Structure 1
Amino acid sequence: MDEIHRTEIDGIQATWRLNHLRQVEIMNVHNTSEVLPIVTFGPGSYPDLVQARELWPRLARLWDAVRHDLWMELVPRYRSSITARYPQ
Structure 2
Amino acid sequence: MSERSTEAGGWVADWSLDHHCIRILLVRNESEAEPLFSAAVLAAAPDLAEMRERFPKLSGLWDAIRGEYWAELSPGQQNSRGVI
CA distance in structure 2 between the partners assigned to 1:39 and 1:69 by the alignment:
20
TM-score (normalizing by structure 2): 0.82
The 4+ residue runs of structure 1 with deviation greater than 4 A are none
Letter in 2 for 1:32: E
Q: Which residue of 1 aligns with 2:6?
A: 7
State the 1:12 CA deviation.
Answer: 0.4
Please state whether the residue corresponding to 1:16 is helix, strand or coil: strand
CA deviation vs aligned residue, 1:40-66 (integer Å, no higher than 9, x gap): 112121111111111111111110111
Instruction: Give structure 2 stretches of 5+ with no counterpart.
Output: 77-82
How many residue pairs match? The answer is 78
Percent same amino acid among aligned pairs?
36
Q: After TM superposition, give the deviation of residue 9 of structure 1 in Å.
A: 0.6
The equivalent of 1:68 in structure 2 is 67
SS at match of 1:14: strand
Task: Normalising by structure 1, report the TM-score.
Answer: 0.79
Q: CA RMSD in A?
A: 1.7
Distance (Å, rounded) in 2 between the aligned partners of 1:75 and 1:48: 20
Which runs of 5 or more structure 1 residues have no equivalent in the other structure? 80-86
2:33 pairs, out of 9, 22, 35, with 35
Give the aligned partner of residue 21 of structure 2: 23
Measured after TM superposition, the shift of residue 71 of structure 1 is 0.8
